[in-house]
Structure 1
Amino acid sequence: MVRRHNNQLPENLPQLQNLIKRDPASYHEEFLQQHQHFLNTIEAFQLSPDQTNKTLDDLVMFMAQVAHCYPKELLTLPQQLVDLLEKNSTVLNSTMRMTFCRALILLRNKNLLTPTDLLELFFKLLRCQDKALRTFLETHIITDIKNMNAKHKNAKLNTSLQNFMFTMLKDTNSRAAKMSVDIMIELYKKNVWNDAKTVNVIATGCFSKFTKVMVASLKFFVGKDEEEKDSDSDSEDEVDPKEVMMANKVNKKTRKREKQLNKVKKLASKAYKKKSAAPTFNFSAIHLLHDPQGMAEKLFHQLESTNKKFEVKLITLDVISRLIGLHQLFLFSYYPYIQRFLQPHQREVTRILQFAAQASHDLIPPDIIESVLKTLANNFITERNSSDVMAIGLNAVREICFRCPLAMSEDLLRDLAMYKTYRDRSVMMAAKSLIHLFRDTRPELLHKKDRGRPTEATEELTPMNYGHVDAKDYVPGAEVLLREDNEEVEIDSESGSDDEEWIDIKHSSDEENVSEDDATNSESEEQSGDEEDDDESVQDLVEEEEETEVEKKTQPKRKILKAKRSKDEKTSKREQAHQITIDRILTDEDFKRIDVANIKKHIQGSKKGAKRKIEETKSNERNEFVKLGDIENIYKKRKHDKQSRIESVRAGQADREKFGYKDGRMNIHCSKTNREKRKNKNYLMVKHKVQSKGKRSFKDKQIALRNHLIKLKKMK
């Protein structure tokens, strides 16, 4: 191999680095020369580590780049750099410290350094007053651990790294503890360390003596649904690709339109992938806690004894309410504590109402939640407050009762239901939503006129008791499948059952008919009268009395048969649903048919033709957490409709000058110039006279410039 410019290689390190990577054996001597120079420079640098050394900067990166080519010669290079950083970490210049860290990261990427050794060094470097270095080290640690678990999770390495992170969380240095929490949270969000061990260690950070660590851990469990925000922003900017493609076919083809079409296609494909992707659960971390009851009690004890900012108290209240509502915990002292903040003038009162609703569930004794409802009714739902405050109070009561309906008493509910005729529409709508909730849960508490028209769903409601769990061994509404599949069999069975019932009733009616015939015959015989004796007439009266007794006996039999039939229908529906659930594997189409039938139950009344409006039967699906918008949802009527708004806009434009070309002539009857007349002509008529400035000749430009200068001179 021909070697050129050997005299320039000692000074040109990038060229030497490139040549060594291609052929390490041929340039071994040049490398040894640079290695010796590197060792000498380090010895000189240790005498004054606080100064920058450009030569050492270049040599360190050069050695890190070619370390895999000469593993024997550079075996001690990582340890040299680690020792140099450990001894002079706080004294080193920021640029030199960053260079040494980059070199170590380069060696780590080439597997010449173990990750645990590098992590220990990087956490020690957090004591330096260098924010840029701390952020750089944090991003490296996260990406390094993520890359190690990219193909498959290395359990042994992960446990060692996790144990080191957990020890750093209890470190006396606040920066090290905060960085360890941030790294674990970021790795959990990236689905690298999403196990229960990581979640429970982050939970210990909620009780840290450092406020930043505690707040970061609490915010992790509060969690904000970032995907919903992204989906909302995407839906606002969403464009239909079919419309753009059709417009591109019709309109003129340009590069701009092609770029726009490609962009819309990419957005459409991205939106389709997002819709077809599996749902993600952002709050699954709370489910992985080992001892949620103990954590809630410790957090509440810490909340009572702390003197931190109000914002920190709010985050703590939020986490406690989520724990209570999700795991159905018992923390009775939480409700009297939160009642102190239930005032309309309280800062962030809507969030506190949200926490009160989140902390309610079915297993809490109704007496405890009832005191919260009474506090809301006394402080919010009174006419001395504004309509918005009353509406928010009613919304909060509705959300609490949705999770714990037994807490509402009959007197309080009927008082709140009276606001359905309130003069303000926001209060009226909030009261009606509360009434609609209890129509589907506990209609017996409402006044008879507020219960609405009875439906099949309300007839199937069972009375609610504390601690009672309505566990069904069948899919409600599954009897529809049996009716649709076996209509002919059901018709036959119904006709057979009707015949059986009619046989009993027919037997009694036959007796009645016979007695009636006898009565008519006796009457005719009485009318003839001349041929009959008195004994026969007496006998006829006795027979009539016997017939009336038979009729009295048969009437209650009919009523009993009707009652039995209604009970038999309910039991038959349950038996059919139970039979379908056991004997059949339900498909997605079957579940759709069942859902449609259940919706019809909420609309269709028990009597034929009686229907309820679909707006009144909103399906209340219980979410894990209460949305703040459900409490702040206040109906606001617009100040005026579209026509009145148009009139107000036109009234504001009355005194305004007309937009457009202003005629500057003193006398409007005098003639206009040819240029002004040209503006009113059709463009195709003057198209040949239009000359663009770019196509003017040099002579025309000179004439235009001369005329312009003459005009300026005249104006002076």
Structure 2
Amino acid sequence: MPRGVLRTANLPQLQNLIKRDPVSYKEEFLQQWNHYNSTRQIFQISPDEHAGHFRELVSFIAQTSQCYPKETAEFPSHISTLLLEHYGSLSPDMRHVLVQNLVMLKNKGVITSIVLLKTLFPLLPRSSSPSLRSFIRRTILTDIKTANSKAKNHKLNRAVQAMLFGMVERGMDGTVTGDKGKLRIQPKHTPEGLTNSGDEAMWAVVMTKELWKKGIWDDAKSVAIVALGCFHPVTKVQSASLHFFLGSEEEEEESDEEEEEVDVKALQHRREINKKTRSGEKKMRKQLKEAKNVSLALHSGRTPNFPALQLLHDPQTFAEKLYDMLHKYDARFSLDHKILLMQLLSRVTVAHKLTVLGFYSYVIKYLTHHQLRVPAILAALAQSVHDFTPPDVLMPVVRKLAHEFVHPGVGSEVVAAGLNSVREICRRQPWAMEEDLLGDLVEYRKSRDKAVTAAARGLLQLFREVNPGMLKRRERGKTAAMGIAAGMQPQGFGQAEQAAVDIDGLVLLEDHLKAVREDGGSDGEMDDEKGWENWDVEEDSSSSDSDSENWIDVESDGEGNIDVSDSDDETEKKAEEATAPARVSTLATTKILTPADFALLNDLKIQAATKAVEAGGGTAAKRKLASLEAAKKASAGADETAVFISENDILGPRKRAKADYEERLASIAKGREGREKFGSLKGKKKKDTQSSSTNREKARNKPIMMIMGSKGVRGKKKQSLKEKQQKLRAHIEKAKKSYH
């Protein structure tokens, strides 16, 4: 075929020839390239003119650009400019084609991931097409996940995080109007094509949460993006950011669409009601297998991330800003949103041992028994207390709880909630309780309601352990009375115990390692090397090189021990050892403890606590075991909410609620186990032990002459026509119901 025939109408054929022999068809490509430039200039002036032809040219250039990299060096910037500057004037088909071709250029290696993502991220809040928005979202997540699959791509992560941080920061100068009415934001700088800068910030928070959830990002910079979103003027951005730190799932907006997953229950329900066919059964099994594979892919192979609260930069300032926003916009925020702020403030406070004194005076006005969602408020209040919280600011709170919740004028559930709240506060700061008030609260252990009795007994048992001197003599118990007689006194607020002479439970680890060594275990040096596996902290190579250069080798005399003690120091040391526990482990002086050693130490402490509980250690041993298990779950990331207070802890044990539909079905299925479907084995011959037949079977096998004289048969003969019609009509209705 002569080359002159290769015109615009033959672009697919020309594309095929160029990929086979780029050098021979370079002249034809340059003609199409010049034609593309002229068409692009016309298209920018009037997008409706030559739109279809321009799409064909863009696809042709994108397919063949890798063959002529120098000539098409500006082609990716042309597409990015059209998408970013003329997005509103483009048709939906043109937008989709441009985005697809830009992604194809990245897959061919023409552009980098950073160039692609700089174009795709601004398009997320502007796109109104669900299909295009879903395609852009999947492309971004897949590209970042692929770049971090083998090792962390710090260059790409820093660039993307900077873009997301800018998307959130651009709307921070708006006016906070709250979530009680219509969202109205007035930012100074709103990007073109955006009606509300909250959409841009919302997408930044959503993408950061998704990357954190998939385990791709787990650093402090991603946490800083969501932390900034907690103070965004738009309330829906605040809510999404707050839920990230709280670890809960909120009802997402339209922009926060989750990935489609197979609904197993819906498949099973559809299979039950539809017609039973082999093809349908095979299709359902295939879909269930795919759902199982997706679930395994999502939950397997992940390493536990660091908790987001621990990666906060300057948590004290973060907590103070949360309280300032809560106090300043109290009338603008709804109650649900204010509870979210209270919960996050309490968790940050207890995680970092912070003190925000204004929060306790603010929350007092919500401590009434008729307040909506008061259990959640009480849980947030108790959660915020720790051993460094001043008792002076907590005493008015405890007094208000007692006056509002614990009195005969309210229901038993209210009294139980008040007592449980006081107990949780005093568990963390016992000095917040007054002696006279404690005596009144403990008297409720004589109540007739089980929930109130349990709550009062829990408060009594707590003070028997932490400060029995505040109780009356007859309420202290045997163990606490013996301790007071021996001169044991609790540590006051701000007082510390004696200087630590050993690591708690280190003796257990020393005995365990000794037993392993005696049984022929591996070498200690090899164990130390294995103990650091998968625990290395990621850092840049430049920092590691600079740190290594700063080390100075110092020569040591003899065995490397420096003796700086004199006779007086030795005397003091012996005196300290005399007052120390009977046995102090020396393992820490001869071995560098690895993270694996500390993990093993926690397991050994749990085993020792379990044995103490089984040996009858009492409530103190049970409480220690529970705290150790909760700390292990929190450190492993299996259940981050295990160390936090829930509403059930405040409400306490209650009467069994009515079972819902799923619970009733589970109970029915459990009762059907081991028996035939839709029937019982009573009187059946298949039973292991023979038994008599039922009355219905006996009536069915009676001789006809015996039945003729029965009352039922004689009654049928005497029935009127109306009675026969009624019975026949009832029989027909019953048959219809059973058929349907």
Q: Which TM class, normalised by the smaller chain length?
A: 0.5 to 0.7
CA offsets 1:148-180 (integer angstroms, 9 cap, x no match)? 333333434443443343333222331333333
Question: Which secondary structure state, in structure 1, belongs to the residue aligned with residue 58 of structure 2?
Answer: helix
In the other structure, the counterpart of 1:220 is 244
The share of aligned pairs that are identical, in percent, is 35
- The alpha-carbon distance between structure 1 residues 295 and 579, as it changes in their structure 2 partners (threshold 3 A), is closer
Q: Determine whether 1:425 maps to 2:442.
A: no
User: Equivalent residues in 2 for 1:179-190 (5 A)?
Assistant: 179-190=203-214
Instruction: Provide, for residues 402-452 of structure 1, a one-character-per-residue CA deviation record: whole Å limited to 9, x for no partner.
Output: 222221233323322222221111222222233333333233333445444
Deviation digits for residues 531-582 of structure 1 (CA, Å, limit 9, x no counterpart): xxxxxxxxxxxxxxxxxxxxxxxxxxxxxxxxxxxxxxxx989533325666
Rg larger in 1 or in 2?
1
How big is the shift at 1:19?
5.7
- Name the CA distance, whole Å, in 1 between partners of 2:237 and 2:381: 26
Distance 2:111 2:118 in 1: 12
Name the CA distance, whole Å, in 1 between partners of 2:311 and 2:513: 44
Match of 1:72 among 67, 70, 73: 70
From 315, 335, 338, the counterpart of 1:292: 315
Residue 78 of structure 1 aligns to which amino acid in structure 2? P
2:493 pairs with 1:466 = yes
The partner residue of 1:196 within 215, 220, 236 is: 220
> Which has the larger helix fraction?
1
CA distance in 1, matches of 2:235, 2:297: 43
Asked whether 1:305 is paired with 2:328, we answer yes
Q: CA RMSD in A?
A: 5.0
Higher RCO, 1 vs 2 (CA within 8 Å, ≥6 residues apart): 1
Tell me the residue number matched to 2:530. none
Contact 1:475/1:581 (8 A) holds in 2: no
How many angstroms does 1:303 deviate by?
A: 1.7
Question: Structure 1's 460 and 205: CA in aligned 2 closer, same or farther, altered over 3 A?
Answer: farther
* Distance change (3 Å), C-alpha of 1:590 and 1:35: closer
Structure 1 residues not aligned, in runs of 5+: 227-235, 238-255, 487-570, 606-610, 650-657, 672-716
2:609 touches 2:624 (CA, 8 Å); kept in 1? Answer: no
2:531 alignment partner in structure 1: none
Q: What are the residue-to-residue correspondences of 1:383-402 with 2, within 5 Å? A: 383-402=408-427
Whether 2:168 is the aligned partner of 1:169: answer yes
Partner of residue 581, structure 2: 575
For each residue in 1:171-220, what CA deviation from the matched residue of structure 2 results, as whole angstroms up to 9, or x when unmatched?
23313333333333333444444332332343233333333333333333
- Cα 1:5–1:380 change in 2 (3 A) is farther
Q: Are the equivalent residues in 1 in contact too, given 2:442–2:459 (CA < 8 A)?
A: yes
The 1:16–1:395 alpha-carbon spacing in structure 2 relative to 1, beyond 3 Å, is farther
Question: Is 2:337 the counterpart of 1:331?
Answer: no
1:370–1:408 CA contact under 8 A, matched in 2: yes
Distance 1:293 1:34 in 2: 62
Change (3 A) 1:400 1:271: farther
Q: 1:219 to 1:272 in 2, by over 3 A?
A: closer
Q: Is the 8 A contact 1:478 1:576 kept in 2?
A: no
Q: Which residue of 2 aligns with 1:704?
A: none
Give the alignment partner of residue 57 of structure 1, picking from 55, 58, 73: 55
Q: What residue is the counterpart of 1:633 in the other structure? A: 652
Q: 1:40 to 1:361 in 2, by over 3 A?
A: same
Instruction: Tell me if the contact between 2:125 and 2:203 (Cα under 8 Å) persists in the aligned partners.
Output: no
Amino acid at match of 2:401: L
Once the 2 structures are TM-superposed, how far is the Cα of residue 358 of structure 1 from its aligned partner?
Answer: 1.3
Q: Deviations over 1:216-275 (max 9, x none)?
A: 33333223389xxxxxxxxx99xxxxxxxxxxxxxxxxxx99x99xx99x9799999979
The answer to whether the Cα contact below 8 Å between 2:205 and 2:225 also exists between their aligned partners in 1 is: no
Cα–Cα, structure 1 residues 465 and 27, in superposed 2: closer, same or farther, change >3 Å? same
Q: Deviations over 1:51-71 (max 9, x none)?
A: 783343343223222321232
2:111 & 2:588 partners in 1: Cα distance?
A: 61
Determine helix, strand or coil for the equivalent of 1:368: helix
Q: CA 1:305–1:614 in 2, change beyond 3 Å: closer, same or farther?
A: closer
Q: Distance in 1 between matches of 2:352 and 2:51?
A: 60
1:61-210 aligned at under 5 Å gives the runs 61-122=59-120, 125=123, 128=126, 130-132=128-130, 133-171=132-170, 172-173=189-190, 174=197, 175-210=199-234
TM-score (norm 2): 0.60
Contact 2:215 2:302 in 1 (8 A): no
CA contact (8 A) 1:199 1:285 kept: yes
1:73 to partner: Cα distance: 3.5
Cα distance between partner residues in 2 of 1:277 and 1:181: 22
CA distance in 2, matches of 1:428, 1:122: 61
Retained in 1: the 8 A contact 2:347–2:383? yes
**Alpha-carbon separation, structure 1, partners of 2:512 and 2:115:** 70
- The 8 Å contact of residues 353 and 396 in structure 1, kept in 2 or not, is answered as yes
Contact 1:335 1:368 in 2 (8 A): yes
Tell me if structure 1 keeps the 8 A contact 2:405–2:414: yes
Opposite residue 165 of structure 1, the aligned amino acid is: L
Residue 364 of structure 1 and its aligned partner are, at CA, apart by 1.3
CA displacement at 1:334 relative to structure 2: 0.7
| 1:342 shift after superposition | 1.4
Letter of the 2:321 partner, please give it: K
Q: How many Å separate the matches in 2 of 1:472 and 1:304?
A: 41
> What is the alpha-carbon distance in structure 2 between the residues aligned to residue 460 and residue 16 of structure 1?
98
Could you say if the C-alpha distance between residues 28 and 602 of structure 1 is closer, same or farther in structure 2, counting changes exceeding 3 Å? Answer: same
Q: 1:32 to 1:472 in 2, by over 3 A?
A: same
Is the contact between residue 609 and residue 625 of structure 2 (CA under 8 Å) also seen in structure 1? no
Using the alignment, how far apart are the partners of 2:127 and 2:623 within structure 1?
62
SS at match of 1:66: helix
Letter in structure 2 aligned against 1:61: S
TM-score, normalising length: structure 1: 0.62
- SS state of the match for residue 584, structure 2? helix
The alpha carbon displacement at 1:468 in A equals: 2.3
Structure 2 regions of 5+ residues with no counterpart?
Answer: 171-188, 191-196, 251-263, 266-280, 515-576, 632-641, 660-666, 672-693, 708-740
Aligned to 1:575, what secondary structure does the other structure show?
Answer: coil
Contact 1:52 / 1:93 at 8 angstroms: preserved in 2?
no
Q: Distance in 2 between matches of 1:269 and 1:128?
A: 30
AA in 1 matched with 2:204:
S
Q: Contact 2:501–2:580 at 8 Å: present in 1 too?
A: no
How much does 1:34 deviate?
5.1
Residue 16 to residue 402, structure 1, CA distance change in 2 (3 Å): farther
Instruction: Name the CA distance, whole Å, in 1 between partners of 2:299 and 2:122.
Output: 42
CA 1:362/1:312 → structure 2, altered by over 3 Å: closer, same or farther? same
Q: Is the 8 Å Cα contact of residues 457 and 602 (structure 1) preserved in structure 2?
A: no
Give 1:128 shift. Answer: 4.0
**Aligned partner letter, 2:404:** N
| 1:338, distance to aligned residue in structure 2 (A) | 0.6
Distance verdict in 2 for CA 1:268–1:416, change over 3 Å: farther
| In 2: Cα distance, 1:668 partner to 1:349 partner | 72
Q: Which residue of 2 aligns with 1:519?
A: none
Question: Distance in 2 between the 1:80 and 1:276 partners?
Answer: 41
User: Could you say which residue in structure 1 is the equivalent of 2:574?
Assistant: none
Q: Which residue of 2 aligns with 1:365?
A: 390
Task: Give 1:279 deviation, angstroms.
Answer: 4.5
Indicate if the aligned counterparts of 1:51 and 1:93 stay in contact, CA closer than 8 A: no
